[in-house]
Amino acid sequence: MALRRVRIGAIPDAVQYDDADFAAAVETDQPIRAGTPAVPTDVLRLDDVGVITGDVIGPAGAVDSDIVEFNGVTGKLIKDSGLTHADIADAISKKHTQNTDTDLSPGHKDATTGVHGVGAGIVAKVSDIAVDGNLSAAAQAAISASHTRSHALDSTSDHSIGGLTNTYLVKSDGTKLVPATNTDAQVADAITKKHTQGTDQGLDTGGANAVTAAQAKAGYTHSGVVVGNPHNVTKSEVGLGNVDNKSEATIIADVKADADVADAISKKHARSHTISSTSDHSDVNLAGISNNDLMQWDDPSSKWVPKTIQEVINGQSLTITKLTLAVPTELTISAGAVTATQARHTIDTEGDAASDDLTTISGGAAGQILIISAADDARTVVCKKGAGLLIQDDFSLDSVDDTLMLECKSSGVWREIARASNG
């Protein structure tokens, strides 16, 4: 259908209502009227078109009193919604206000049959809703796997917790409920006997083992006492019989009073004690003793007297089964000199020079033996004949296997015994 524009005589521009029954611009056997059209052949003025025309197209038929709704997104097509004014009014009357306790419709909350199969009650458990074909597949699956949080456990079908004992509590192990080890009576008793912080409530009040706060405090105080007898314990209580409670000094004095003990003490000898004077031992004479001296028994005086090694072996036949010298230590030449401190040394050049002269060996005592050798094959030590080294001639130690054996004539003066070039 459409409105077509026509011009009739002196009448202003008009629009014809075209129902597609004919192609002529105007065909009528009735008077031409202006205003709202009443029949398909009526015409109206262009000024009246905006009041009654539009682009909306509806269906071929509709149900009386049904609400109209758009069909698509063009804004030009409409259809029957299937809802009546009565349906809308009923829904509004049954609306639920948020955060209120408005009951559900009696027709729903009390239904024992129907699409949901909900039993009587204001709000039914999810697990009570029947899974039927009226619900979507997703809704049916959700109901089958449903679990109502914090609902009452009315039977073992709600939750099966193995090992439960009557009156015992349950607890969570992090993933499920398990039996607890205490009864509700025990928990209630613990709450009854709880101790309030900052108070002096007694322990086991009224019981056979009641302990007051004052008694507990006294026990704690005594536990820190380390002298005396704060608990007044008798010797019979600790199994000591008639043993007297004596101090350590008294006991030592009693033991020393015994004749046999006193005699043993008078004859005691402290093992490895230091003899610092003749008063320590009447048969030892320390007069004139020097470092490294030996003690030798002297028959004429009946005493132990100090002797040097030379004095001990003088005129004696000395048999040495095995003689081992100390591990050699290294001496470095400084301005042509070194100082001997033991019987065996290696000698190195000053500043690791390729060659260096050795003219003086300080230290030593008459009769002391000294053996020297080179510290490194790459550096030569030249022992120079002179006032401090009484040797046959200059001798070069250019190998670690070369050796020179000397005897001390006097401190700082050494004379050759033997030499060996082994490198």
Each residue of 60-96: pLDDT tens digit? 788 888 888 888 888 778 888 888 888 888 888 877 6
Rounded Cα distance between 252 and 261, Å, is 11
Domains of the chain by start residue, with CATH: 2-52 (no CATH), 279-319 (no CATH), 329-420 (2.60.120)
Residue 177 has pLDDT above 70, yes or no: yes
> HEC string of 78-140?
EEEEEEEHHHHHHHHHCCCCCCCCCCCCHHHHCCCCCCCCCCCCCCCCHHHCCCCCCCCHHHH
Rounded Cα distance between 8 and 91, Å, is 54
pLDDT-based confidence at residue 14 (cuts at 50, 70, 90): low
Encoded tokens for 243: 């043993």
Residue 252 has φ and ψ, to the nearest 5°, of -65, -40
Encoded tokens for 194: 């709880």
Residues in the chain: 423
Rounded Cα distance between 38 and 310, Å, is 164
Give the tens place of pLDDT for each residue, 98-133. 666 555 444 444 444 444 444 444 444 444 455 555
pLDDT for position 115: 43
C-beta separation of 299 from 316 below 8 A? no
pLDDT for position 301: 84
Top-confidence residue, 160 or 70: 70
> Please, which residues bridge with residue 208 across strands?
none
Top-confidence residue, 243 or 369: 369
Closest C-alpha among 313, 325, 420 to residue 369: 325
Encoded tokens for 169: 């509590």
Rounded Cα distance between 61 and 202, Å, is 92
Rounded Cα distance between 31 and 231, Å, is 137
pLDDT for position 5: 54
Closest C-alpha among 351, 354, 364 to residue 413: 364
Rounded Cα distance between 421 and 155, Å, is 109
Rounded Cα distance between 257 and 254, Å, is 5
Residue 328 has pLDDT above 90, yes or no: yes
pLDDT for position 358: 97
Share of the chain above pLDDT 90, in %: 22
**SS3 call for 344:** strand
pLDDT-based confidence at residue 390 (cuts at 50, 70, 90): very high
Sign of CA dihedral 135, 137, 140, 142: negative
DSSP state of 291: T
**Long-range contact list for 289-294, CB < 8 A, 24+ apart?**
none
Region of 216 on the Ramachandran plot (φ > 0 left; ψ -120 to 50 alpha; else beta) = alpha
pLDDT-based confidence at residue 392 (cuts at 50, 70, 90): very high
Give the tens place of pLDDT for each residue, 202-238. 656 666 777 777 777 777 776 666 677 777 777 666 6
